[in-house]
Amino acid sequence: MRRLFRQSCFLVAIVLTGLVVLSACSRGENKLAVGDSGPDFLVEDLDGHAVRLSELRNRPVVLRFFVTDCKFCRADTGVFSDYYRKHQAQGLEVIYITTTTDRDQVRAFSKELQIPFPVVIDYNRKVSQAYNIKVEPQTVILGTDHRIKGAILGGVGEKELDEVLGVLWGSVGPASSVAGPVAVPADLRDHLKDDARCPVCGMFVAKFEVWVTRIEIAPGEFLDFDGVKDLLAYYFKPTAYGGNELPAASRIWVKDYYSLKWLDAKEAFFVSGSDVNGPMGSELIPFANRAAAESFLTDHHGKRVTAFAEITPGLVEELRGGAQMKPGA
């Protein structure tokens, strides 16, 4: 993945090896990508001990950004604790970082969940800002050289952590996947042509790379669209746009809004009715998991989260407002 922070307010999604997804709210902010060095920081844990990233040399570090009233943060803390105990002897470090400023509340959270690693309060949001964190929970994973290896939005399981760090323990190879049963071709981006037009509205889709969606009608053969709703308009009725009925084996690809990672649309979740518009206005915003979709729904005043199988032609036409632009228009 070439870059992480594009457009407005990006966050994390589900993790794959080589993928990191952090937050950004403007093109003017510093950008981070896989392979970049994680910004150093100095904070104190709840016992007043200094915690500096640069002093954890040659150790992989998991940074968990959380708030105490977050149900996901509470629910999977046991995963982090168990994973830490399992790999502590191999050098793993985990740091819980919160912007909840009530020290007693944070201490109660840590005590109740019996957290065995440092818990720190990011009073001035300096650490969160350094990593462009806008919404919690987010997990940023650093390798032994403290370069960014991956990140996760929302709830976390051991498989997700092993997807990035497992190669260090010899438990999971870097080619494995936890994102679903359909593998994303590594060269999917390479097939995007500069002169490709959306079959529904006629736009040159390469201008809107963030929003590009695709129907793979045969291996390596794609129809490109400028957003999810135009893709679905075609998907439901291809003959209305000069196309043929789609082969049963066609695959549908969309990009996770936060990570820009290609997703199998049939495994994704979509937010409609939000205040975020695509090139053609109101849009279905895709996410790798429901947790990310629900966070976005709250932050951007969306109306609903919908699985692919629940999307109807009526919803698509509602979003499109009846517009039916043709190629060349």
Q: What pTM does this model have?
A: 0.51
Residue 322's pLDDT band, with cuts at 50, 70 and 90, is very low
> What pLDDT sits at residue 61?
96
Residue 191's pLDDT band, with cuts at 50, 70 and 90, is low
pLDDT for 221-244, tens place per residue? 889 999 999 999 999 999 999 999
Is omega for the bond preceding 116 within 30 degrees of 0, making it cis? no
Asked whether the predicted pLDDT for residue 325 surpasses 90, the reply is: no
pLDDT for 299-309, tens place per residue? 888 999 999 99
Closest CA to 162 of 15, 263, 329, 286: 15
Asked whether the predicted pLDDT for residue 290 surpasses 50, the reply is: yes
Rounded distance between C-alpha atoms, residue 300 and residue 271, angstroms: 10
Domain ranges, ordered by start, for the chain: 42-169, 188-320
Residue 176's pLDDT band, with cuts at 50, 70 and 90, is very low
What is the average pLDDT across 193-198? 87
Asked whether the predicted pLDDT for residue 13 surpasses 90, the reply is: no
What mean pLDDT value characterizes the chain?
81
**Phi, psi at 268, each rounded to 5°:** -95, 170
Asked whether the predicted pLDDT for residue 54 surpasses 70, the reply is: yes
> What pLDDT sits at residue 188?
52
Task: List CB contacts of 43: < 8 A, sequence separation 6 or more.
Answer: 50, 51, 52, 97, 120, 121, 122, 127
Residue 31's pLDDT band, with cuts at 50, 70 and 90, is low
**Topology classification of domain 42-169:** Glutaredoxin (3.40.30)
Residue 186's pLDDT band, with cuts at 50, 70 and 90, is very low
Contact at 8 Å (CB) between 246 and 238?
yes
What is the average pLDDT across 23-33? 51
What is the average pLDDT across 194-212? 88
Residue 189's pLDDT band, with cuts at 50, 70 and 90, is low
